[in-house]
Every structure is written in structure tokens, then in C-alpha cells.
Structure 1
Amino acid sequence: MQPHDSLARLAKAHKTYGPLTALDGVDLDVRRGEVLALLGANGAGKSTAIGLLLGLLEPDRGAATLFGLRPQALAARRRIGVMLQSAGLPDHATVAELIELTRSYYAAPRSTADCVALAGLDGLLERRYLQLSGGQQRRVQFALALCGRPELLFLDEPTTGLDIEARQGLWRAIRELVDGGCAVLLTTHYLEEAEALADRVVMLARGRVVAAGRMDEVRAQIVQARIRVTSALDPVQIAAWPQVRDARRDGARLELVVDDADAVVRRLLAADPGCVDLEVQRAGLADAFVELTRDAAPALHQEAA
């Protein structure tokens, strides 16, 4: 990777709050035209990492840079868009007024029509912010983050409070922005969201990076798999087999969590040649997260999209 490909970077970043170590030598970089998902349980250090990159905090040791500059530099801040978990917008302003005000801060802003289309705000422009549902307010915040045509977009739990349709609409908008060359740093408690959007993943646990890389690389760090099969075999006996972590029955089907799928499948077929409906599912991001951050609680939510 060439240095100019990295739009935001933490290098051996340390940050403490009294006796609490929030970040312990964290490295990460956000590259042009990609979504980087920053994942971790509550207290893992995600908010501190974002605070350093936005210039809201200073590292105790190490470095934080934004477009090669100090994050506080106005020249760097003009090139980003930010959607944090809390916004503090004026309640009585209309959606149209909020968008126009935010657009006025930039020399060449994105058009109001584009902001509305990307955020799914059709029909809401004349509504006052306080009259909107929580999910609608999040979509307004997303629109405001886009007003300056950012090269780098910080999205902190962007789909909290959105229904499935609105969430998927936001996903489409994010993909469109990335296809246009924008970089996105995404934090989310929804693992399926990271799996759907992210090109790369950084997992934090207790202030340290426990896994980083492309989605397939992170999944490959564990060999765990799930096996489902219709069989009369006793799950208690299967649970005692080597390479089997868990075995339970769900009606006529057995559900197994295993370390070596090939070995267990061979033994299943030998023990019950009449078994049917055999499915093997390799580890997903949720499995990788649980395994790699086993000592850090609470776990992330999983939600069907």
C-alpha cells in the first residue's frame, strides 16, 4: 500500500483514562474506496479510536493522522463527513433548513436532491426535526454527513433505530458512495451489517487489535464450522467425539459446532449411512468475533437483515 492510499491512520496509538487503558498500541488505516468495519464489544476502544482520528482526543503515545495531517487541521476536517451516535441538532428546524444550513458550510456542496435521495428523506423536508421518529432522525444525520461531498465518512452505529427496509436503503447508499471513491469507517453492533458492507475488518478487545484483514482472512483465523443433518444419532454421544464443540437436537435435525468439519462429516456418514440433508456452514463473522474476543464482554448483537 502506498502512503497516499491511507486517508486516516492510527500508528501504535495509546490512550489511557486514569488507570484504564482504552487503547494499547493500536494500528489501523482507512483506505480510499473501501469500507473498514471497526468492531468490538462495549468498552473495547472503538469510540476512543474514532475520537483520536477526529481530533477530539490526543493520543498519549503514537500518532493519529487524517489525510497525512493532524486530525485537528481544518484542511483535513473539510474533507470528512461524520455521523456519530448523538447529534444535538436544533429540534425546531425543518429537515430542509438543516440540510441548507449544513450545505452552506462548504464551497461545493452536494445538492439537496442528492442528499435527500441518498438518505431516503423524500416527503420529510418540511417536517421539524423533533417531529421525526428516531429512525428518521438518523437518516437526517446521514444526509448532513454527506453535504460536503466527503472523501472519508465516519459512521458510528449508523443504522441504530432503523427498520429493515430503511437499513438496507442506507446500505445501498453507502455502497454507492464507496463506488464513487469515498472511504468509510464503520462501527456497528450488527455483525450482519459489517459482513454485508465491509471490505476489511479490525476487531478490538480490551484496547488491542485481536484480528485485522479482509473478511475472508478474519474468518479464516478460526476453523470452526456448523453442521446440520437429519439423523437419529444421539447428540450426547456425538458431543464426545473429537473436534466436536457442541451437539444438540432440533426436531429431527442435529446441529453441531465443530473444529474439523471434514473429519466429523466422515464419522457421521460412517455412523449413520442413512443420514440426509447434510449441510456444512463455514465460520461466519459472528463466529470469528465470539472466538477472537472470547474474553471481552458483552458480545455484539446479531440481528437478521
Structure 2
Amino acid sequence: MTTTAPEATEAKTAVVSFDQVSKAYGDVRAVDGLTLDLHPGETVALLGPNGAGKSSALDLLLGLRTADSGTVRLFGRTPQAAIAAGRVGAMLQTGGLMEEVTVEELVRLVCALHPKPYPVTEVLSRAGIASIAGRMVNKLSGGQEQRVRFALATAGANDLIVLDEPTTGMDVTARKAFWATMRDQADQGRTVLFATHYLEEADAIADRVLVLHKGRILADGTAAEIKARAGARRISFELEGPADEEALRALPFLSTLDISGHRVRIQSHNADATVHAVYGLGLYPRELEVAGLGLEQAFVAITEAEEARTAC
């Protein structure tokens, strides 16, 4: 009889597993049949417009809410069991910090409660808050509060770190330091899942991007794959004279058109044909540039296409 070592079974188990998970609030279906798996060592960005279901999905993942149907598992267990075992750290938008204590006292308390804590001095230093360790929590700025939340989320050796808009309120230096720490966590085999409105962060940091819309996954892949899926390219050029908007809107394969003075910006589903048609209009574009969509433009294109499809 062959037995499987616990470590081997653990390695095959998804860090996060949603299986046909749905959650509604009255007539609003915030999460709609969501199915996905996250794996060890992945850094995953969760993108979506306001109301897409990102926060609801994270609440279900953390056991803060109960699904109407389907199952959520962390490391093959219930969210509550995984969290109690010290395997999950979370940094959320909602929920206040304990007041009338110093930053160090709050961090020390959370470290004391964690099954696998890091030294308090290490946690303070990594979050960039050692210099304000003696300050009262209720005297912190918004950016400082975010860094304290970050410290609490990484107070111990968690296998999964969940972050909801983690760098809101942080300055550029703090954001860079934050993501350097998250890269280090992922390099150690931990899974990092973050929701963000800073799409440049998703592009630069995540090795997997999930686009959520009305509680469903619209796209799942690398940032490059998401951009390619949008199926459009950016065309930009200058004109010597005023732009003829009516003529430009008649260009073939046009997706979007933006005219600002003599500068014309186009999204096209066939850049070669569109540029050829520009010359066919008798125009002589200067500073012509043709490039792929950035993640932000791709994200907008994918969600707008879904809105148009569901409106039909």
C-alpha cells in the first residue's frame, strides 16, 4: 500500500480555491459562480471597476462573510481554520486600528498572538515604521496607518498574504519599499493576492492578473496576455492643420478616437489598415507611434466590451 507524505499532499493543494462561489446582497449579485485556484509563490493582482465584487470576494476568502452557494478553501481547509493556524495575513480597507496604544504596543500584541511571529523590531523595520514606534495610533496620518496595517499583516510567517488597495495613501517611496517587501515574500514561496486601482502596480508586480466584472472572471493571465486579449493597438500622431474629426471617425477598425489640438490618439483593431487609411485621406502624420495597449487601456477595453455584450 502506497501512502502520500503530508508535504507532498500539501504541495498539490491550492493555496486558495473558489468552487462555483456566489454571494448576493438583495438583488445585487456581488460574486457570481466564481471558480479559481491560486498556487504557492504566485503574486496575483485582482482588478475590476467599482462594484465588480473584489472586496466581496476577499471577504469570502477571509471568512468574514459566508457564501450563498459554492465552497471556499484555503490550503484545503475552511478560511477560519487556515487563519487560526496562522497561515494567512490580511491588510484590508475596512476596519479601524486599536487606539490609545502606541504603534509598537499594537505590533507587539499581534506578534504575540501569531502562531509563527517575527521579532517585533523586524516587523517595525520592514514596514518602515520604526521611527514612529512610540507614537499613539490615533495620531497617525493616513499613509502611516496603511504602513501599520501592513506591519500587522506581515507580523508572522504567513503562507498567504491578502491585500485590499494596500498602497492607498502611501507616498512613492513607501510604495516602492512596500512592493520590494512583497516581492521578497513571493520569492520565499508565499502567495500574495492584492486588489488595486493602481494598474501600473499590477503591470509591474503581478505575475498573474485576474479581471473581475460583476462578480465573474473576465480574464485570467499574465499582464502581457491580458493586453494581447484586448486585441487593439495605440496609434498616435501630430497633424499640421486642424483634424477633420468626421473623416477620422470613418477610419477602418477604429475603436476609440481622441483629438487634442493637433495631436490624434487612436485605438485600432488593425493598426496597419488604419494607418494606411490615414495616408489615404491625404494626411501626413508626424511623430507617428504605434504600440500595444497598456494594462489600463486593455482593462478598460475588456470591461467595456463586456458591458456592450451584456447590454444587447
Report the TM-score, using the length of structure 2 for normalisation: 0.87
Counterpart in the other structure of 2:147: 139
Counterpart in the other structure of 1:300: none
For residues 8-23 of structure 1, what are the structure 2 equivalents within 5 Å? Answer: 8-23=16-31
Counterpart in the other structure of 2:5: none
Of 36, 57, 62, which residue of structure 1 is paired with 2:70? 62
Counterparts in 2 of 1:66 and 1:14: CA distance versus 1, 3 Å: same
Q: Is contact 2:251-2:278 (8 Å) kept?
A: no
Counterpart in the other structure of 1:259: 269
1:173 alignment partner AA: T
Q: Is contact 2:23-2:32 (8 Å) kept?
A: yes
Counterparts in 2 of 1:139 and 1:249: CA distance versus 1, 3 Å: same
Q: Is 1:212 aligned with 2:239? A: no
Higher relative contact order (CA 8 A, sep 6+): 1
Q: Is contact 1:26-1:208 (8 Å) kept?
A: yes
Counterparts in 2 of 1:171 and 1:75: CA distance versus 1, 3 Å: closer
Counterparts in 2 of 1:49 and 1:135: CA distance versus 1, 3 Å: same
Instruction: Give the total of aligned pairs.
Output: 295
Counterparts in 2 of 1:261 and 1:113: CA distance versus 1, 3 Å: farther
Moved more, 208-217 or 224-233: 224-233
Q: Is contact 1:235-1:249 (8 Å) kept?
A: no
Q: Percent identity?
A: 40
Quick check: which one's helix share is greater?
2
> 5+ unaligned residues in a row in structure 1: which ranges?
297-305
Of 211, 214, 226, which residue of structure 1 is paired with 2:234? 226
**Within 2, Cα distance between the matches of 1:230 and 1:189?**
31
Q: Is contact 2:85-2:115 (8 Å) kept?
A: no
Aligned to 2:15, the other structure's residue is in SS state strand
> 5+ unaligned residues in a row in structure 2: which ranges?
1-8, 308-312
**Within 1, Cα distance between the matches of 2:144 and 2:63?**
28
Q: Is 1:286 aligned with 2:263? A: no
Aligned residues: CA RMSD: 2.2
Counterparts in 2 of 1:5 and 1:275: CA distance versus 1, 3 Å: farther
Aligned to 2:80, the other structure's residue is in SS state coil
What is the CA-CA distance between 1:72 and the residue it aligns to? 1.6
Of 232, 253, 258, which residue of structure 2 is paired with 1:243? 253
What is the CA-CA distance between 1:6 and the residue it aligns to? 2.0
Deviation per CA, 1:129-156, whole angstroms, max 9, x where unpaired?
A: 1111010011011011101111100101
